[in-house]
Structure 1
Amino acid sequence: MAVATSKNQPKSDAPKAAVKDLREGIELLKTMDGQFVSTDVEVDPQAELAGVYRKVGAGGTVMRPTQVGPAMLFENVKGYDISVIVGVLASRKRLAAFMGADEKHLGRHMLNAMHHAKDPVIVDSAPCQEQVHLASDPDFDLRTLLPAPTNTPEDAGPYFCMAVLRGTDPETGQHDVTIHRLCVQDRDEISVFMQTGRHIGMMYEKYDAKGEPMPITVSMGISPVEYMAISFEPPSTPYGFDELEFAGGLTGSPVELVKAKTVEEYAMATAEIVIEGHILPSRRVAEDQNTNTGYAMPEFPGYDGTANPSLPIIKVTAVTTRTNPILQTLVGPGEEHVSLAGIPTEGSLVQALEDALPGFVKNVYSHSAGGGKYVGILQVHKRDHNDQGRERQAALVAFGAFPEMKHIILVDDDVDIFDTDDVLWAMTTRFQAERSVIPIPGVRCHPLDPSADPDFLWTNFDHGISTKVIFDCTVPWELRDRFIRAPFQDVDVKRFLPDWTGA
């Protein structure tokens, strides 16, 4: 079991999640004020569903008007007898409740779970196989069986956005689970986009080189805690580390797997829906072959992604589900993606920063404006004059640990990194561009940033190259006595307002 952990991270009590599957998560949300809504009004999964949730709770980098709101269950989806839920993970408060953790230290909480990883266990029967639909049945058709939504009218097609692929390395026997975007292309075909460097993609390349189909399962509607564990990326989860081991540590019990019905692979036993099949060798299709829109779907930076002209195909062999399954989805650039990408990033950064500068960085936030990937805010604690300058070293460590990060904002420990107004206050009163902006040009970042292109800046000699920037909004040690915030008296507001729930 290849678990990557920090030598400076103390081993604390084992995490224990409050929920074990999606249905328990929904029931928990129903007990929390303002965290869950449902509707039985008919909704079209083609663009209308996402259009509704955009205003109700999408948040993130979605075009305004939007907000971070409750999870929403659509009980009446046009043309289907399957409900769709969206936004389950679109709130740190909800995730903290699912995990049993402090919402401002979710990254650290998740990192601690690395110390308690548990191997998955195999079960003989599972809820995800209560209903079985074989692709060999002449009436089988993914397009009418499952209500895969489109986010916008320009999408390449219907997408499964919360799809957990599980595959096995044909040479080493090591397993991996990764979330990839899947576009329904035909009655039994789905295109799969695997960004360079993702572990499932690396495994598929071995099958493809040998001309062999890769057995695969796609689990959807799993525990929200398992979704978060699966979203952890290197360096915390190197190649060969099965994120389901980590998920077991985060939930407090081993993840249950069940043998697929039609392929030599295993699926997540408590999933709402499982798709079984093979990723075919050699065969490629254009992502928008059925629509020719030129677009894929909205990506986390807030723009429509370009349709990929050549993607591998999953040839579906079966779909298995729970009785009365719930399809889980997300709005592409919404806060849900920020949670899936950003909170694991926070965990990885905590690990790297604690290794390099023990005790110096107090907390990390992967800000929503960067989709959880591009913008990091580091809260530092300068203890004496020797720590002056280490704030910028911390930023360099963060860039090295997570190459997709584009902007790092440094603040002192009297600034709330989760309050953008407070961060901008620090940028206003503790920042002078001439000394406080540190550009690092010509660095590989992320291909989905549309400004990372030679057309935007001629010195970017290739697409995906950025000028990374450190914004140092910290007070120089020798000037600290001149930047003390006004010292208000700390009082118990509940003595005056018993129902008060604010800060």
Structure 2
Amino acid sequence: MAEEPWDLRRVLDEIKDDPKNYHETDVPVDPEAELSGVYRYIGAGGTVERPTKEGPAMMFNNVKGFPDTRVLIGLMASRRRVGKMFHHDYQTLGQFLNESVSNPIAPVTVKEADAPAHEVVYKATDAGFDIRKLVAAPTNTPQDAGPYITVGVVFGSNMDKSKSDVTIHRMVLEDKDKLGIYIMPGGRHIGAFAEEYEKANKPMPITINIGLDPAVTIGATFEPPTTPFGYNELGVAGAIRKQAVQLVDGLTVDEKAIARSEYTLEGYIMPNERIQEDINTHTGKAMPEFPGYDGDANPALQVIKVTAVTHRKNAIMQSVIGPSEEHVSMAGIPTEASILQLVDRAIPGKVKNVYNPPAGGGKLMTIMQIHKENEADEGIQRQAALLAFSAFKELKTVILVDEDVDIFDMNDVIWTMNTRFQADQDIMVLPGMRNHPLDPSERPQYDPKSIRFRGMSSKLVIDGTVPFDMKDQFERAQFMKVDDWEKYLK
């Protein structure tokens, strides 16, 4: 008997009976700011405005204006929950994804009859077609430019269909059949494909897939150099599940869709057409982004003309809060894998583990656990930090710690800065480098000397490792080893 295909519903079936990881509510909720406002208190975590905490994923069953749609938020807003959903130790997810990148399983195309994503179909040619009434996309705050698709996996190909890719972008619902999409300059394969179409003045067919197995969502966030141009990240999800992701032909565009997505939007990225992101609200804001601040409304987003909306029966709309713990899982774990891959090639065995904590939104900070075997390894920790910057240009801060430090406990990490660190010799500052344009400190007026253009930054290495020849002076207090300590809790 064939194994049941992986999709969002199979994942939810595995966690729905665990109140620490899943909660449903039938209390009515407004998708305009209220839904995200509620979840901020219950489980968003990350760099969201306090008070917040890490909590269960939430399914809102009674969403105002959308009687036939449920909205899920926070599915990946816990590293431990991601480990549970991947059937893997949460502490070594970076290594696990690194192995998955190296051993991808390519997606397969299934017949229309085997694609639940097309159970319900609305086409732009239908009377009354309006994506704002069909897609329960929440706004995160009252200042948002509009309702946003925050976790839509965009599937697209180059013009000759020799390369395909999936990426995640913020997309705002602007009109009845029009989305604005922010494609960050450089590094995104979909952006390169769109440039090719635009130069030819042709619309680029795409599908937007929402409500997916988190293996697809997290796998889709890998970037170069880990996944080079032409590498389709759906193969990462295939490796995680040891089962190929299923695709199906689009109904109104010449492109593939993910066959078991909850929602699919089909359409075209229009050539040489742009739209003001907040054209309907004029707030000057886009939506909250991972550093914890509102993104500025972009004056010239690329435009997607929507040709169809399809969904499963009793569909689940999935959403995330930008600066939440969920973004840390989506962006941080693949970044850890990217760093581990490059570092292990250059200095094998010297970096034991890597963690990108919520304080950096999964992108801006990494903690590296260093193994020094002999005096020849002294200094190798700083080489590792430089390799991390080259593996992921959006990284801003690297903290280096020894093997006896728990990199998942910020108390332990900061402890090293107080007991194994001297600021005059254990800090490296690298000015004038590229970083992430969503960091609001990376503006020329903040530091005119080293920031010539927005998105540049000084990068920081904090070396909290003990010099090899002084290790015996920094041994932690040794307590008695008690194997059966858990019996005292019974």
Q: TM-score if structure 2 supplies the norm length?
A: 0.97
The reply to whether residue 256 of structure 1 matches residue 243 of structure 2 is: no
The reply to whether residue 488 of structure 1 matches residue 479 of structure 2 is: yes
Alpha-carbon separation, structure 1, partners of 2:325 and 2:143:
21
CA deviation string 1:410-434 (max 9, x = no partner): 0000000000000011111111101
In structure 1, the residue matched to 2:106 is 119
CA deviation string 1:318-360 (max 9, x = no partner): 1110001000000111011111110000000010110111101
In structure 1, the residue matched to 2:35 is 49
- Contact conserved, 2:163 with 2:230, CA < 8 A, in 1? yes
Deviation at 1:449, TM superposition (A): 1.0
> What letter matches 1:440 in structure 2?
L
> What letter matches 1:90 in structure 2?
A
> What letter matches 2:162 in structure 1?
G
Alpha-carbon separation, structure 1, partners of 2:260 and 2:54:
28
The reply to whether residue 474 of structure 1 matches residue 465 of structure 2 is: yes
Q: TM-score if structure 1 supplies the norm length?
A: 0.94
Deviation at 1:172, TM superposition (A): 5.4
In structure 2, the residue matched to 1:232 is 222
> What letter matches 1:468 in structure 2?
K
Worse overlay, 66-75 or 444-453:
444-453
The reply to whether residue 63 of structure 1 matches residue 46 of structure 2 is: no
Alpha-carbon separation, structure 2, partners of 1:396 and 1:328:
37
- Contact conserved, 1:18 with 1:97, CA < 8 A, in 2? no
Superposition pairs of residues 458-473 of structure 1, within 5 angstroms: 458-459=448-449, 460-473=451-464
In structure 1, the residue matched to 2:337 is 347
CA deviation string 1:280-333 (max 9, x = no partner): 111111000011111100010000000110111111111110001000000111
- Contact conserved, 2:130 with 2:177, CA < 8 A, in 1? yes
> What letter matches 2:218 in structure 1?
M
The reply to whether residue 151 of structure 1 matches residue 137 of structure 2 is: no
Alpha-carbon separation, structure 2, partners of 1:104 and 1:234:
24
Deviation at 1:31, TM superposition (A): 3.2
- Contact conserved, 1:284 with 1:311, CA < 8 A, in 2? yes
Partner SS state of residue 443, structure 1: strand
- Contact conserved, 2:44 with 2:325, CA < 8 A, in 1? yes
CA deviation string 1:419-472 (max 9, x = no partner): 000001111111110111111111111111111122111212221111101000
How many residues are aligned here? Answer: 482
Within the candidate set 340, 348, 352, 1:358 is matched to: 348
CA deviation string 1:392-424 (max 9, x = no partner): 111011111111110000000000000000001
- Contact conserved, 1:162 with 1:179, CA < 8 A, in 2? yes
- Contact conserved, 1:342 with 1:371, CA < 8 A, in 2? yes
In structure 2, the residue matched to 1:284 is 274
In structure 2, the residue matched to 1:80 is 66
- Contact conserved, 1:90 with 1:336, CA < 8 A, in 2? yes
The reply to whether residue 393 of structure 1 matches residue 400 of structure 2 is: no
Alpha-carbon separation, structure 1, partners of 2:487 and 2:161:
63
The reply to whether residue 497 of structure 1 matches residue 489 of structure 2 is: yes
Alpha-carbon separation, structure 2, partners of 1:368 and 1:453:
23
Partner SS state of residue 359, structure 1: coil
Partner SS state of residue 435, structure 1: coil
> What letter matches 2:155 in structure 1?
R
Alpha-carbon separation, structure 2, partners of 1:468 and 1:115:
29
Alpha-carbon separation, structure 2, partners of 1:46 and 1:467:
38
Deviation at 1:236, TM superposition (A): 1.3
Partner SS state of residue 38, structure 1: strand
Partner SS state of residue 207, structure 2: strand
The reply to whether residue 110 of structure 1 matches residue 77 of structure 2 is: no
Alpha-carbon separation, structure 2, partners of 1:420 and 1:78:
40
Alpha-carbon separation, structure 1, partners of 2:104 and 2:481:
41
Within the candidate set 18, 23, 38, 1:37 is matched to: 23
Alpha-carbon separation, structure 1, partners of 2:171 and 2:312:
21
> What letter matches 2:409 in structure 1?
D
Aligned-pair identity (%): 49
Partner SS state of residue 462, structure 2: strand
Aligned-CA RMSD value: 1.3
Alpha-carbon separation, structure 1, partners of 2:184 and 2:281:
22
- Contact conserved, 1:19 with 1:98, CA < 8 A, in 2? no
Deviation at 1:171, TM superposition (A): 3.7
In structure 1, the residue matched to 2:179 is 190
The reply to whether residue 426 of structure 1 matches residue 420 of structure 2 is: no
Q: Which runs of 5+ in 1 are unaligned?
A: 1-16, 499-503
> What letter matches 1:118 in structure 2?
I
Partner SS state of residue 133, structure 1: strand
- Contact conserved, 2:19 with 2:56, CA < 8 A, in 1? no
In structure 2, the residue matched to 1:5 is none
In structure 2, the residue matched to 1:133 is 122
- Contact conserved, 1:19 with 1:223, CA < 8 A, in 2? no
Worse overlay, 169-178 or 412-421:
169-178
CA deviation string 1:37-65 (max 9, x = no partner): 11101000000000000000111111110
Partner SS state of residue 283, structure 1: strand
> What letter matches 1:325 in structure 2?
A
Alpha-carbon separation, structure 2, partners of 1:18 and 1:391:
45
> What letter matches 1:26 in structure 2?
L
CA deviation string 1:203-249 (max 9, x = no partner): 01111111111111000001111111111111111110111122211
In structure 2, the residue matched to 1:301 is 291
Alpha-carbon separation, structure 2, partners of 1:467 and 1:177:
31
Within the candidate set 169, 172, 177, 2:166 is matched to: 177
Worse overlay, 479-488 or 226-235:
226-235
Alpha-carbon separation, structure 1, partners of 2:4 and 2:54:
22
In structure 2, the residue matched to 1:207 is 197
Alpha-carbon separation, structure 2, partners of 1:196 and 1:377:
27
> What letter matches 2:453 in structure 1?
D
The reply to whether residue 92 of structure 1 matches residue 86 of structure 2 is: no
